[in-house]
Amino acid sequence: MTDKGKNSPISRYKKIISISNDLASTLDLDILLKRIVKAAAELTEAEAASILLYDERLERLYFQVASQYDDPLLRGLEVPVKDSIAGWIVKNRQPIIIHDAKQDERHYEQVGQSLGISIESLLGVPLIAKDKASGALEAINKREGLFSSTDQEALMTLGAQAAVAIENSRLFQQFDLISEFVHELRTPLASLRTATHLLTHPEITNEKREQLASNIQRETIRLAEMSTDFLSVARLESGRSQFQVDDFDLSDLLNECFQLIIDQAEESGLFCNIEITDDLPNLKGDRDKLKQALLNLLSNAIKYSHEGGKVLLKAEALPRQILISVSDTGIGIPQKYVHRLFSKFFRVPGSERLAQGTGLGLSIAKRIIEGHGGDIEVESEVDVGTTFTIRLPVTP
Ligand SMILES: Nc1ncnc2c1ncn2[C@@H]1O[C@H](COP(=O)(O)OP(=O)(O)OP(=O)(O)O)[C@@H](O)[C@H]1O
Ligand SMILES: [Mg+2]
């Protein structure tokens, strides 16, 4: 064997070192997983590679990403631990080479089918960090010949690096989220403490008592809403949230969202309109999650507007995509903050005086839209208004 070939031991070794450096440079789980599968396919000269993550507590395995065949809607798809090769790898903490997956009774067909890959051969290794099996990394379909023990060694080495990077990214995300959560809890908890303390004073008037009770009610509702949002973010970030994909009528969903906000808008003295073309195709996706995303845009348009303003919900079909926009004639967003809008917990300074919020709505919406292969953009001018535009792909 020479050391000069493209996949000689030395060039593989170099490749692994450069990949590990690359992996260590990001804490973003999405980016990380994509880099890992791309590297795994290259390193083993396979057609594709995929990653599944294991939740030890729930004993569940979730498909994450595959190189080449990325379908965001499959992210988080649950794969049976007992009846899958990945499950076998995680449980036995051992690598495996399979030359003919179709003949293997552990082979779980659904993921390959949904991705449109026919899985012939497979090399899989466990992802183990700090003695915790966190998932499986699989190279699929060797381009030429058979997966070898050298391929296996290379993938094991990559897997070990990948597992550490994944674990770090998860810990970082959890820590980030928990510390923000605790921070956000303080304000409503402080109001509750004050209100309940005042209620114990015997001399307070009935009027005051009612006011305190309604404060308590408002703050508890807010706490409940915040908890739901935090859970949404945590699930979307961890890759454990599976989209419930359905075929549904988009104009129906848009009308429903519009009906849900119209009262609130009119109460705030706003004029609302909906303009949707009648050629909107059916959409394939998670209706409830898309509804959550749209409702946040609409409620933002209402929250950050002045009396007499206008809110418009628009949708049109373009070739192979749908354009949905929510515009308002509200306060607008200073240009220097625009790039931070979709970050967790970000609120434009001063927003708290206008409306309550946690600053999570847009980051959740972005994850949902991107999870459907789409994107979301914003255009805004201070004191003129804001337009959020969503683009969603439509597969014929
Ligand atoms: N239509 C809009 N006009 C002006 N500013 C907006 C608009 N939409 C969002 N913003 C700004 O972006 C910030 C983030 O919005 P986001 O929806 O993520 O959070 P939020 O509305 O503050 O809280 P919540 O978590 O309840 O949605 C808002 O706090 C506000 O400062
Ligand atoms: Mg919001």
* CA neighbor of 64 nearest in space, from 72, 73, 52, 47: 52
Taking 50 as the threshold, does the pLDDT of residue 2 lie above it? no
Residue ranges around ligand 1 (CB below 6 Å)? 229, 296, 300-301, 304, 328, 330-333, 341, 346-348, 351, 357-362, 386
The ligand 1 atom at the shortest distance from the C-alpha of residue 301 is 1
319 CA distance to ligand 2 middle (Å):
30
Tokens describing residue 393: 């792909």
Tokens describing residue 357: 């919020």
Distance of CA 235 to the CA centre of its chain: 7
Where do the domains of the chain lie, and which CATH numbers do they carry? 9-168 (3.30.450.40), 243-396 (3.30.565.10)
Most ligand 1 atoms within 8 A of CB, residue of 184, 326, 339, 362 to mutate = 362
Taking 70 as the threshold, does the pLDDT of residue 3 lie above it? no
pLDDT band at residue 22 using 50, 70 and 90 as cut-offs: confident
The ligand 1 atom at the shortest distance from the C-alpha of residue 346 is 14
The owner of tokens 């804490």 is 27
Tokens describing residue 131: 């003695």
Taking 80 as the threshold, does the pLDDT of residue 247 lie above it? yes
Sheet containing 385-393: order of strands = 271-276, 310-318, 321-328, 385-393, 375-381
Average pLDDT of the chain, as a whole number: 91
CA distance 320 to 395: 6
The pTM assigned to this predicted structure is 0.80
368 CA distance to ligand 2 middle (Å):
14
Which ligand does the CA of 355 lie closest to? 1
350 three-state secondary structure:
coil
365 CA distance to ligand 1 middle (Å):
11
pLDDT band at residue 6 using 50, 70 and 90 as cut-offs: low
Per-residue pLDDT tens digits for 24-80: 888 888 889 999 999 999 999 999 999 999 988 889 999 999 998 777 888 888 999
How many other C-beta atoms lie within 10 A of the C-beta of residue 339?
10
Per-residue pLDDT tens digits for 143-166: 999 999 999 999 999 999 999 999
Most ligand 1 atoms within 8 A of CB, residue of 225, 299, 304, 343 to mutate = 304
